[in-house]
Amino acid sequence: MFSDDLIALALKLLSCSQKDLASDLNVSPTQISKWKRGEYMSQDMEELIRQKLGIGDLNPSFILLAGSVDNTAKWQKLISYMAGLAAEYTETGYVTAPLVEETEFLACEIIQLFVDMGVKIPDQFPSELDIDFDDDENDGDIDGLLDNNQYTIAIKKIFNALNDVYGFYVAYVDDLMMNDSLELYDTDAVNIEPRLLFLAATKVDMDISFAPKFREFVFQTNNEYTGWINTVKNKAFQAGIPLRAELLNLVHKRHDELGHEAEAESLGINNNRIHPDIYMNEILTGIRLIHQVLPKIMEKLEIDDFVVDNSDLRL
């Protein structure tokens, strides 16, 4: 729980100053300032503020992004419904956990994702999407509505891509992340799984007029993932652990290609297969290092007549 967002929301919804809020909560104005900077807030204090704001268990960050408590509840309901639909159609052989677990967090991520891509979040929730998803009589209308709204079209594409991206992650990366000997949880690679929704979004066709910052978003996300995945590869290389797929495919391949690779792994088709190019970059890096260091070593040892015997290099 981030105290800064809860305090920002309290100041907004209560339309009060920090001094007024401090008095209402019976704390010092200095304490309000500390919470605004993200300092730890006790659970009792959090519950007290939530009660005063009447937000229940809703995520304060989500409310700030959505614009109001009412908007947040409606986005939450819509996105949770769409996540359930997408989860039913995964074909990778793996469960897409973000679509079936903690859907409130997923809904907040979708809105944050839209903001990062430059999508304008409407001041009021789209009235045509304000549907009772629990009413069976609406089933025939819902699909048509979801396929004719720019927000739900984008969400549907992203969730479909997430099925494939997450399947590849579980098939080829998750075991490495769980390998204590690699100590990956002490590196930036820990960001790989939490940000898979954002990576999935880079693999869909997005209307630039709808998401004007999309290209910048793709560039930044791919750069981040390239660094994180190379960390995993380097750790595995140093530990002598073979990989069954090129992990950078997460960045470079289309989501449907990733889904096919994940499905093949789930069916056992890729068992014990070692990709021939997995460590090619690491090998080339090692060769370049030797090429730079060896002349210095030879100069230090005053060796100037060394000749390579190619016959010793043949198998």
pLDDT digits (tens, 9 = 90+) for 225-282: 999 999 999 999 999 898 888 999 999 999 999 999 999 999 987 654 555 555 556 5
Same domain, residue pair 149 and 261 = yes
Of 208-217, 291-300, 304-313, the range with the lowest mean pLDDT is: 304-313
Q: Is residue 278 situated within a structural domain?
A: no
**Domain co-membership, 73 together with 44:** no
Spatial separation of the C-alpha atoms in residues 274 and 244, rounded to whole Å: 5
Share of the chain above pLDDT 70, in %: 89
The pLDDT value recorded for residue 257 is: 96
Residue 298: pLDDT above 60? yes
pLDDT over 60 (residue 75): yes
C-alpha dihedral sign at 49, 54, 60, 65: negative
pLDDT for position 158: 98
Question: Do residues 112 and 250 share a domain?
Answer: yes
Asked if 37 and 75 sit in the same domain, the reply is: no
For residue 50, give both structure tokens: 């939530």
pLDDT at 284: 62
Per-residue confidence (pLDDT) for residue 220, from 0 to 100? 98
Q: How confident is the model at residue 305 (pLDDT cuts 50, 70, 90)?
A: confident
Angle 224-255-245 from CA coordinates, rounded to 5°: 75
Both 20 and 126 in a single domain?
no
The mean of the pLDDT values for the chain is 89
Residues 35 and 105 in one domain: no
Per the model's pLDDT, the better-predicted residue between 291 and 10 turns out to be: 10
User: Do residues 108 and 65 make contact, with C-beta atoms less than 8 angstroms apart?
Assistant: yes
Structural domain boundaries enclosing 157: 69-266
8 shares its domain with 93: no
292 lies in some domain: no
Domains identified in the chain, total number:
2
Is the pTM higher than 0.75? The answer reads: yes
18 and 87 both lie in a single domain: no
The answer to whether the CB of 227 falls within 8 A of the CB of 188 is: yes
Q: Does the pLDDT at position 134 exceed 90?
A: no
Looking at the structure, tell me whether residues 243 and 153 fall in a common domain: yes
H or E stretch covering 82: helix 69-88
Residue 292 CA: distances (Å) to CA of 238, 279, 280, 289, 308? 21, 20, 18, 5, 17
Q: Mean pLDDT across the stretch 68-93?
A: 93
User: Which of the residue ranges 125-134, 226-235, 288-297 would you say has the lowest mean pLDDT?
Assistant: 288-297
Would you call 149 helix, strand, or coil by DSSP?
coil
User: Is residue 3 scored above 50 in pLDDT?
Assistant: yes
Q: Is 70 exceeded by the pLDDT of residue 128?
A: yes
Q: Are residues 170 and 94 in contact, defined by beta-carbon separation less than 8 angstroms?
A: yes
Specify whether 39 is located in the same domain as 101: no
- Same-domain status, 7 and 141: no
